[in-house]
Structure 1
């Protein structure tokens, strides 16, 4: 599993209806994308759920590098670059994925929590703790799914979770889910990935 995200931070007075309309018109285009596990079309709106910014920030869980590369280089990502400019794309290597206690419910919000892997700690122990936290998140009431991944260039963990209710059971930045494409969700490997 590979995680990917880009963030488009928009002006404070930006009409987020433009993003909502874009997702309503184009969100279905990845509903059958080969190699994609999950794409969550996410927004943060200034003042909602404590967000200081307006932002469009889709989050992806990929089953295959080929699918991810086809998206980046084969046309899917070009639509973002054409409409908003080319943002930096963050990538993380998957450590664990779990279906949530509310796996069959529609996702209302997503939570992303990034944190550094501190210097001087045993990285294997930190990864094990992250995998355990992923399992705890998935087991909480209202959790649709949970994943954890690591960026070894920055030594940063990212916990990502989807929730069926507006008051999620996780700490981090809260995003509204506009659409969920899940062509390969059932194929995402469960549990620890090493």
Structure 2
């Protein structure tokens, strides 16, 4: 499996309704996409829980073939034409706990961190799994890491808006 995300920072005065309309009109097009486990259409809107407007779709691919098809067979061209060339962040899933009601998730919180040099990584997976979330009412979670940069991201999914002071993403649609 492969995690993939691009984060498009939008101007402070950007009308986020344009992104919401884009997802309403096109989000269904990735439902059932070849080799896609899921895609979350994520946004942040400037306000008390976010310092910026952002569109940041998160994908988990079952295999690289699906990701390659998306990137190189014209589907990603819609992003290039609408928002310009974007850095695509890649992560390897370390663990994933998706509940039966994952598709009902409406919010997501991301925690990022460094994987620090150590004489062994054998305890890292258990350490990160036992880590306390910002708000433990999450219904699903995913941890991806990038050994090229020795970074990790924890994604916590919620049905109801969590009580967090961290930046919060709204999930507009989930394709599976």
> Is TM > 0.5 for Structure 1 vs Structure 2?
yes
Q: Which residue of 2 aligns with 1:186?
A: none
Cα distance change, pair 13–104 in 1 and its aligned pair in 2 (3 A): closer
Output one character per residue of 1:85-112: Cα deviation in whole Å (capped at 9) or x when no partner. 0110000011111123x72661110111
Q: Who is 1:149 aligned against?
A: 144
Contact 1:111 1:171 in 2 (8 A): no
Instruction: Measure, in 2, the Cα distance between the counterparts of 1:147 and 1:105.
Output: 14
Q: CA contact under 8 A between 2:143 and 2:152: conserved in structure 1?
A: yes
The TM-score, its normalising length taken from structure 2, stands at 0.90
1:115-151 Cα offsets, whole Å, 9 max, x none, are: 0011236322223322444xx76xx43x332111110
> What's 2:23 paired with?
23
| 1:191 corresponds to | none
Q: What value does the CA root-mean-square deviation take over the aligned residues?
A: 2.0
Superposed counterparts of 1:1-194, under 5 Å: 1-48=1-48, 50-100=49-99, 103=101, 106-120=104-118, 122-133=120-131, 140-141=136-137, 143-167=138-162, 172-182=166-176
The CA distance in 2 between the partners of 1:173 and 1:73, in whole Å, is 32
TM superposition shift of 1:171: 7.7
Between the aligned partners of 1:172 and 1:99, the Cα distance in structure 2 is 22
Kindly indicate whether the alpha-carbon contact (under 8 Å) linking 2:103 and 2:174 is maintained by their aligned counterparts in 1. Answer: no
TM-score normalised by length of structure 1: 0.82
Distance 2:34 2:50 in 1: 33
Q: Gapped runs of 5+ residues in structure 2?
A: none
Between the aligned partners of 2:58 and 2:102, the Cα distance in structure 1 is 19
SS at 2:104's partner residue?
A: coil
Tell me the secondary structure at the aligned position of residue 15 of structure 1: coil
Unaligned runs of 5+ in 1: 183-194
Q: Aligned with 2:139: secondary structure?
A: strand
